[in-house]
Structure 1
Amino acid sequence: MTPIEKWPVFRRHDQAAARLQIWSDLGRAPRTLQAYARGLGEYLLLCERSGVDPVTADRADVAVYVRELTSRPHPRGANVVSMDSGVGLANATIQQRLVPVRLFYDHLIEEGLRSSNPVGRGRYTPGRRRGGQAKGLVPRLTKLPWIPGEDQWLRILHVAQSEPVRNRLMLALAYDAALRREELCLLRTDDVDPSRRTLRIRAETTKNRLERVVPYSATAGVCCPSTSGTEPP
């Protein structure tokens, strides 16, 4: 299903549909394109409900969208253990939803249809404290990564013992080489070099589109396939 098929609201907004087509023509990854379409599509629907033309919307109209994102029911509901459990999207998700809206207004400025971007962004201001960085529309929060304790790791390994060799290998490679899910799932046997115990992470599978070569341990190497095929491990 294409983004426009999933979000018919784009058929009613020519400039937004044009921006979406540009993202597609530039070769954005399908998941990135879907994420952009979702963020901008939700914003367009909110503008329609509020009777606002998104082309001429101001900062106050964008603030209404932010308020809606921070107050909608959390998809994980009561499973979220925090002070505001069950309410609002995560900060990183809100930032993600705002990116396509900001890029949409950048597009309108380039087309000469606007003179300013109501979403804005954090920008450098000479003379300001703390590195001269002005705040964006929504403060960016950074949480420390969750690191399993020893008991939790032992439970993970205990469960993994009963898994097929393929799953155990994937767990070992993900741990050894610090692979993202996409990088791990798109590995091919010709990406593995058993003689050097290294993995080639192809540029098209990475988030930053940069290829790299990473090592893996001798333990994981016991299960690694030969390079004779091209199927995933």
Structure 2
Amino acid sequence: MSSGSIEERFPALATSPPALAWLRMRADLGLAPRTLDAYARGLSEYLTFCTECAVEPVEAGRDHIARFVRHLTERPSQRPTPGDPVPSPARLANATVQQRLTAVRLFYEYLVEEGLRMVSPVGRGRRATVGRPGGGKRGLVPRQSRLPWIPDDQDWSAVLAAAAREPIRNRTMLAFAYDAGLRREELCSLRTDDIDPARRLLRVRAETTKSRRERVVPYSAPSGELLRAYLAHRGELSHARGPLFLSESRRNPAAPLTPWTWSKVVRRIALAAGVPRFATHTLRHLCLTDLARAGWEIHAIATFAGHRSPETTMLYIHLSGRDLAAKLASGMAHIHDRRVALLAAAGLMATP
């Protein structure tokens, strides 16, 4: 999370002591900063909604939850950014809606455990889902599963052309984000002692990862050349060991570069390239998809990416089209051989 207390970043939380107590408890239990930030954001929106509805969150009923669901599914995803030529999507993404509702559901489960409510107004799903073994349960909002977007060759070339005009730090970060398939927080959390230039390896520390799993991944020779040039430049800012990528702003010179600053850098590159869908996580998606296209096995990609579940890794196998292409090629070859055999049996392919 960024600097500043939760209350300062999300003022609506200050109106609900139980909400603050729950979030602080989750933080004390070691919840990942990014997840904590998402919970705080979702719960803040819900508390604001309750204020607009003139209802105390502790006393809200299922009807209020239903209205909040409607609010989430119908409201615009964000306000237009001044000077941004790309209009924002009309509605919140399904994954964002699910994330907001998860925060609210966990908050009410906490209230029940603390004896502040008898039952939670947010269920995990009560309606049977057709086609699922045992009947299954569906949540308040049907969950959609979409493959991540990755740039085509033309988009990628445009991004690289725009990135070539960036300072050495930004070019190095872009190369490492793709080369090692790093998440935004993992990239910005790299330290000078995480790098092994002799073997071209970098260590992604457990505390910086989403899965809390440490891993060691390689990077390419071109990325190594960029790193060498950046380290020479970094020496002009600071000779101290510590965070690898440093801020060069007048306000925070030599301070660790934050994930939010990196997001702004990538957004600037995306707009300059004319590829507005390009974002920080796109680099990771593209890397893992390319590994799947190159024939890497699922367990190898999962280890490289630090995935807990093979199901997550399968997204990139599907996105690469590798399995489907192999099956199509195999099937077409079988059909082709059969048809050739039939033609030969009919005498249509006899040698003249």
TM over 0.5: yes
After TM superposition, the structure 1 = structure 2 runs for residues 95-114 of structure 1, keeping only pairs within 5 Å, are: 95-114=98-117
1:230 to 222, 236, 242: 242
State the match for 1:130 in structure 2: 132
**What one-letter code is carried by the residue in structure 2 that aligns with 1:176?**
D
State the Cα distance separating 1:224 from its structure 2 match. Answer: 2.8
Matches within 5 A, 1:63-82: 63-75=66-78, 79-80=86-87
Counterpart of 1:142 (choices 145, 158, 163) is: 145
SS in structure 2 opposite 1:46?
helix
Asked if structure 2 preserves the Cα contact closer than 8 Å seen for 1:11 and 1:17, the reply is: yes
The answer to whether the Cα contact below 8 Å between 2:189 and 2:243 also exists between their aligned partners in 1 is: no
Candidates 183, 186, 210, aligned match of 1:207: 210
| Contact residue 175 and residue 223 of structure 2 kept, 8 A | yes
SS in 2 for 1:108: helix
TM-score normalised by L of structure 2: 0.57
Q: 2 CA distance for matches of 1:230 and 1:19?
A: 33
CA distance in 1: counterparts of 2:150 and 2:37, whole angstroms: 30
| Separation of aligned partners in 1, 2:74 and 2:25 | 31
5 Å-filtered alignment, 1:8-157, equals: 8-75=11-78, 79-80=86-87, 85-86=89-90, 88-122=91-125, 129-132=131-134, 133-157=136-160
- Which moves more between the two structures, 88-97 or 30-39? 30-39
Per the TM alignment, residue 134 of structure 1 is displaced from its structure 2 partner at its CA by 0.9
CA contact (8 A) 1:194 1:221 kept: yes
Farther off after superposition, 202-211 or 30-39: 30-39
Find the aligned partners of 2:58 and 2:79 in 1 and give their Cα distance.
33
Q: Hey, which of these two has a bigger chunk of helix by percent?
A: 2
Residue identity (%): 54
Distance 1:195-1:6 versus aligned 2 partners, 3 A rule:
closer
Whichever residue aligns with residue 194 of structure 2, its letter is: D
1:213 to partner: Cα distance? 0.8
Task: Answer whether contact 1:3 1:33 (CA < 8 A) is retained.
Answer: no
1:191 maps to: 194
CA 1:191–1:53 in structure 2 vs 1: closer, same or farther (change >3 Å)? same
How much does 1:201 deviate? 0.4
- Unaligned stretches of 5+ in structure 1? none
Instruction: Give 1 or 2 for the bigger CA radius of gyration.
Output: 2
Change in Cα spacing, 1:139 to 1:128, as seen in structure 2 (3 Å) is closer
Residues 158 and 32 of structure 1: is their aligned pair in 2 closer, same or farther, counting only changes over 3 Å? same
Measured after TM superposition, the shift of residue 131 of structure 1 is 3.8
1:63 CA displacement: 1.0
Q: How far apart are 1:140 and its partner, in Å?
A: 1.6
Give the whole-Å Cα distance in 2 for the aligned partners of 1:75 and 1:194. Answer: 42
Q: Deviations over 1:131-184 (max 9, x none)?
A: 443111111222221121111112222223333332222222111111111111
Question: Do the aligned partners of 2:195 and 2:202 also contact (CA within 8 Å) in 1?
Answer: yes
Please list the CA deviations of residues 40-75 of structure 1 after superposition, one character each: whole Å capped at 9, or x if unmatched: 222223223323332232222101111112222331
State the aligned residue count: 227
Q: 2:7 aligns to what?
A: 4
Query: TM-score under structure 1 normalisation?
Result: 0.82
Tell me if structure 1 keeps the 8 A contact 2:125–2:139: yes
SS in 2 for 1:130: coil
Amino acid across the alignment from 1:21? R
